[in-house]
Chain A
Amino acid sequence: MAAVGTGKKRKFIVSGRNEYVPDASEELVDTRHAYQDEYFLTSITNDDDSSDEDDEELDESGKNDDDGDDEVVFEDDDGEESGSEDSGASSLGDEITGDADYDSGSDYSEYGSEETEHEEEGEVEEEEEEEEEAEERKNDESSKGIKVSDKSEEKESAQSKPLFKLKQTTSSKINKSSTKLSSTILRNGNKKNVMNELAQADENRTIQQADDEYKSDTSDEEDIRNTVGNIPMNWYDDYKHLGYDWDGKKVMKPLKEDELDSFLKRMEDPNFWRTVRDPQTGQDVVLSDADVDIIQRLQAQKIPDANFDDAAPWVEWFTSEVMQTPIVRVPDHKRSFLPSRIEARKVAKMVHAIKMGWMKPQEEKKKSYEPKFFMLWQTDEGVEHMRRIQNHIPAPKRHLPGHAESYNPPPEYLFDKRELKEWNKLRTTPWKRKLHFIPQKYNSLRAVPAYDRFVNERFQRCLDLYLCPRARKMRLTIQPEDLLPQLPNPKDLQPFPTVMSMVYEGHTDMVRSITVESKGQYMVSGSDDLTVKVWEISTGRCLRTIPVGGVVRSVSWCPNQALALIAVAADRKVLLVNPGVGDHLVCSKTDVLLEEAPEQDVVVSERVKTAVQWEQASEDVWKNGIRVIINHFKEVKQVAWHGRGDYFATVMPEGQNRSVIIHQLSKRRSQVPFSKSKGLVQCVLFHPIRPFFFVATQKHVRVYDLAKQELVKKLHSNSKWISSIAIHPGGDNLLVGTYDRKMLWFDLDLSTKPYQTLRLHGTAVRGVAYHKQYPLFASGSDDRSLIICHGMVYNDLLQNPLIVPLKRLSNHEPYNDFGIFDVIFHPTQPWVFSSGADKTIRLYT
């Protein structure tokens, strides 16, 4: 009674909170039915899934237990309320204890044990239960009669409360009784449901129904009418009962209807189609319209609830889009928008690792993940790289076996007698044998015996490998081009002479020497045909021919612009010739100057007097232009003017210690500068700026300071025979041509050894020359070729001269193995003249 009361009250409290309205209860009933129907349906449709169903039920029961706790709390509240209303205050202490008991009993584990305890007292309580049942019926009846109102409920609760309190000492009993009740009520309820729907029962009934429904609210209470559990029900096929109820009594099978009955039922009962048998209880259940509707909806694969709008617009509460004001009302934490220090530290570490190469960025990593293929067998040629042995030198390869090694060699490989004899002869020196074995013939491979020398040879091989010293031979691959210095392109060094432009023809014998006027209009040549010719450069016209009565070995134009004078070395004479070209005034002044010899006030020493005699030209040679004749005691090979044009030096190679004589024109005086012969003097040269005098002997060039009267330098030519020298207009570089085909460039500041040796010519170099303005020098040789070189001298003392061979010009005709005798540049234009043994002078521009 009390339990039922509590259940009722509980429900009402809940419903009261929900502002219970009868209509609403109707709905509730419907849903409940729906729930039940659903349950049945599922149990019908899939029997196999019954276990799952039970699990769910268990879960639900657990939940319901929790609910039960809550309910108790509510109840307590009510109890307190009721207590305040109640007169019997003495029951409070019991109430508290009862509560405690109930709490302990709420746990399932203790549940059973308590139950057993209570079962000991079993029979007494059963009687009480019967009383309770009776009271409940009464109550039901009374509630049926009375229209339910809040007041009556309160009364009921007031009545039931004390009862409950008394009974709560055995909570398990309550549960049991409630389940028992619920099962019975359900039966009633189902019937009533059907009734309800069919007959549209009055409101009282509805409430009743609702009450019944709520009595069996919890699923465990509702379902567990048969306690056999989730077993195949066919196990009970042979029995009369279906299982056991909560009290352990058999749930009997309903009477089995025979076919006739069922047929009649089918015929007569309009609800036969919606009648379903509950396998658990064996009862027939008539499904309501709503149930049928739900079943139909389910069969149509629709949502069971008809009221549920599955096409309702979707409310996207949490969108992927970033909203201006997010749904969450809590503002973001400060942390969320402050950069994280820890992360920054991590990133910095990563960046550092990437920088140091410990970590690789993603892309590079990917590459390294690419499958690596290892060469299993390397080629025979390639050097095998071993991890441990560096610079491994592989053993020499053995020869592959040839025909001779075959077990069945062709007959020509087999030794004949002679070869065998030879083989045997070399027994003591086996390494001299051509083969280290005797080829042998077997009919089949099967007949081949074991190789008796195998171990021996393997041992020898090991010895070879072990004892043979192996060294890595480094091979240098030097391209010939790499050895050549980097030189600028000759095209960039223009202008320089490239083509022959003019041939000056007229001499009848070799032209040994040429000289060009300082203005560049005229040229003078001296030849073996005993004449000196004056040429107009631009037209090639021979303006004048001066017979000098000797082989002209050297001509030199006086550099003094105020004089028109040429020094001509012809045999033993040196002639000073006025060519009569150029400025007439200068010519006439020269004549005036040389007309009379100045008076000699100095006593000329005997040594000089015997070597040189000055002589005024006689009338008949005067008209030819010869003004002064200087007789030498030996054949004069060279005349060289000093830059000012007053002094000139003559060279007589055979003159012993008087081979070099310096003449002064203005005083008509001569002196012999050297007392001792240093060798066979080849040529001499005045320094263009400083008072230096260069004397070239066969192998050396000596530089004397004329002012200090001392030897300044001795240049070693490293050659056998110097032929000619030329000095750079700057005065710091000397060019030396030698008969042994070389051309030497001396940098006087640098060293006494040649700065560069040019071996450009095939035969003896006979003439070398510098250009006065352009960075050019040229050399003429017996191989008839004139070679033009670029010779740039820089003002920067640290920079070495740049020497670039530019052009080889070979236009001269061969004549008695001689080629070019003399080379001279035009003073102003980048033109060069060469005089050759072919009687011509050629101009290259």
Chain B
Amino acid sequence: MAVQLQVRFITKQRKYAVPNTPFTVPSSVGSNELNSLINELLKGNDPEKCYREIDFDFLVYGEVLRVPLSDHLEEHSISSEVTVDVEYFERVPAPEPHDCLLHDDWVSAVQVRDGWILSGCYDNTLHLWTAKGKHQLTIPGHTGPVKAVAWVTHDDMLATFVSASHDQTAMLWEWNVSTNAVECIHVCRGHERGLECAGVSPCQSRMATGGWDTHLKIWSADIHEKSNEGRESVSKRLKTEHGMSQVRTPLMTLKGHKEAISAVQWTDTSEICTASWDHTLRLWDTVIGGIKSEIVGNKSFFDASWSPLSGMLITASADKHIRLYDPRSNEGSLVKSTFTSHTQWVQSVRWSTIEDHLFISGSYDQQVKLWDSRSPKAPLFDLTGHDGKVLCCDWSKPELIVSGGSDNTLRIFHSNQHK
């Protein structure tokens, strides 16, 4: 005997609105059945009979429905006698594998900006690709594996980007798009060990790097700025060594982490979020040059991503779980939610830039997964394709999900999002 449940459908997408009346459905109903129900309702609404079927996802009590509705309610210990509000929204379309860019060595860093893909390699080179997968440039210069790349500015003519490497330097590059010539403008020296991460501030005038020397260093990202030159006598000596490029010294060094800094991201023009191997996430204030707040986890953090849309922080640590932190809240448990599906260390996580709830993760189990933060049990999509560890991933451009791995490839997925 199937138990009947009262459900009311609500949506924030007005074009798919259905009447507000409650429906009685059997408790064993899953998202597929609800989907067909909604589609039927919408079809009835549509006078022109040219309705196209849409897939919806259903949000019940803040979590995406993945199991039969009764199980879902039981999990959340909600009585089956109340009218359940089911919010539905258009299902995120499945990303399609688009391209595979072959490198000479492990791809350890990648970032996309306006149709250009910048990747860093373990063979000490940077690569520039078009979004279509055409190789544009190979940029040698580093003497160690490139661990992080970041675009600074980009327009039709000129683009600047930064790369951080295990050779203890970060390099600021200027790329003339039209002539396809790249030039290392500045070499940022100051780190005492290999760099792990780099981040550019939203105002594009500052950048921050962190590495194994546990220091967070803030640099000027402006190519033409020369104000800090000559502050250290060493720089002149180094300048001569490097010929064309000028040596840049850090504007500020923030000490506090006890172990390697694995991720850095600017959350504001004067605020930096870092993740470290010493099990902490820290928020730094660049104006006062100190720690704003600290979140202590119980595993080393390998990566962290902060979403400007939701203000939440997702982290990848030395286990198979992805954890969601809210840096703003001090109450309750620090970990708001745990996403478990990977079977190996998760090496990198990235929020979507347009969707509040979507993020991707790349793991050593050769998988890239697309998650909805409201569905902690299972990811939305598994993006398979890599043959080795996934070392980096990026979703800066909403249409492109790119990931690089130890199989020497950079894989590109089209996320097909409307908007």
Q: Which residues does A use to contact B, with CB under 8 Å? A: 495, 499, 501-502, 519-521, 538-541, 543, 582-585, 828-829, 831, 845
Residues of chain B with a CB closer than 8 A to A499's CB? 319
Residues of chain B with a CB closer than 8 A to A538's CB? 302
With beta carbons under 8 angstroms apart, the residue of B167, B260, B364 that contacts A502 is B364
16 A–B pairs (Cβ distance < 8 Å), ordered by A: A501-B318, A501-B345, A501-B364, A502-B364, A519-B212, A520-B259, A539-B389, A541-B106, A541-B406, A582-B194, A583-B168, A585-B192, A828-B259, A828-B277, A845-B318, A845-B345
Report Cα–Cα, A502/B391, bound state, in Å: 13
With beta carbons under 8 angstroms apart, the residue of A501, A519, A539, A831 that contacts B406 is A539
Report Cα–Cα, A845/B346, bound state, in Å: 13
Contact B193 A583 (CB under 8 A): yes
Residues of chain A with a CB closer than 8 A to B259's CB? 520, 828
Describe A's contact surface by its main secondary structure. Answer: loop
Q: Give residues of chain B (258-284) contacting chain A, Cβ–Cβ below 8 Å.
A: 259-260, 277-278
CB nearest neighbor in B for A828? B259
Write the nearest CB–CB distance from B200 to chain A, whole angstroms.
Answer: 23
Known contacts A519-B212, A521-B194, A829-B318; A540 and B302 CB within 8 A of each other: no
Contact A829 B192 (CB under 8 A): no
Contact B193 A519 (CB under 8 A): yes
Report Cα–Cα, A495/B344, bound state, in Å: 18
Write the nearest CB–CB distance from B143 to chain A, whole angstroms.
Answer: 9
Report Cα–Cα, A540/B345, bound state, in Å: 12
Residues of chain A with a CB closer than 8 A to B319's CB? 499, 501, 845
Contact A495 B260 (CB under 8 A): no
With beta carbons under 8 angstroms apart, the residue of B168, B192, B260 that contacts A521 is B260
Write the nearest CB–CB distance from B301 to chain A, whole angstroms.
Answer: 11
Q: Which residues does B use to contact A, with CB under 8 Å? A: 106, 108, 122, 145, 167-168, 192-194, 212-213, 259-260, 277-278, 298-300, 302, 318-319, 344-345, 347, 364, 389, 391, 406
Report Cα–Cα, A507/B167, bound state, in Å: 25
Write the nearest CB–CB distance from A625 to chain B, whole angstroms.
Answer: 15
Residues of chain A with a CB closer than 8 A to B145's CB? 541, 543
Contact B391 A539 (CB under 8 A): yes
Contact B192 A583 (CB under 8 A): yes
Contact A521 B193 (CB under 8 A): yes
Residues of chain B with a CB closer than 8 A to A540's CB? 389, 406
Known contacts A521-B193, A828-B259; A495 and B277 CB within 8 A of each other: no
Contact B122 A541 (CB under 8 A): yes
Contact A501 B168 (CB under 8 A): no
Residues of chain B with a CB closer than 8 A to A845's CB? 318-319, 345
Contact B364 A584 (CB under 8 A): no
For B193, B213, B260, B319, the residue with the greatest tally of chain A CB atoms inside 10 Å of its CB is B193
Write the nearest CB–CB distance from B333 to chain A, whole angstroms.
Answer: 17
CB nearest neighbor in A for B143? A584
For B212, B260, B299, B391, the residue with the greatest tally of chain A CB atoms inside 10 Å of its CB is B212
CB nearest neighbor in B for A586? B192
Write the nearest CB–CB distance from B336 to chain A, whole angstroms.
Answer: 21
Residues of chain A with a CB closer than 8 A to B106's CB? 539, 541
Report Cα–Cα, A584/B212, bound state, in Å: 12
Residues of chain B with a CB closer than 8 A to A541's CB? 106, 122, 145, 406
Residues of chain A with a CB closer than 8 A to B302's CB? 538
For A499, A543, A584, A845, the residue with the greatest tally of chain B CB atoms inside 10 Å of its CB is A584
Report Cα–Cα, A519/B319, bound state, in Å: 20
Write the nearest CB–CB distance from B120 to chain A, whole angstroms.
Answer: 13
Residues of chain B with a CB closer than 8 A to A582's CB? 193-194, 212
Residues of chain A with a CB closer than 8 A to B108's CB? 539
Contact A584 B318 (CB under 8 A): no
Report Cα–Cα, A181/B347, bound state, in Å: 147
Write the nearest CB–CB distance from A501 to chain B, whole angstroms.
Answer: 6
In the A-B complex, the 9 residue pairs with the smallest Cβ-Cβ separation, listed nearest first, are A583-B192, A583-B193, A845-B318, A521-B212, A501-B345, A584-B168, A828-B259, A829-B300, A582-B193
Write the nearest CB–CB distance from B258 to chain A, whole angstroms.
Answer: 8
Write the nearest CB–CB distance from A481 to chain B, whole angstroms.
Answer: 32
CB nearest neighbor in A for B259? A828
Report Cα–Cα, A520/B108, bound state, in Å: 20
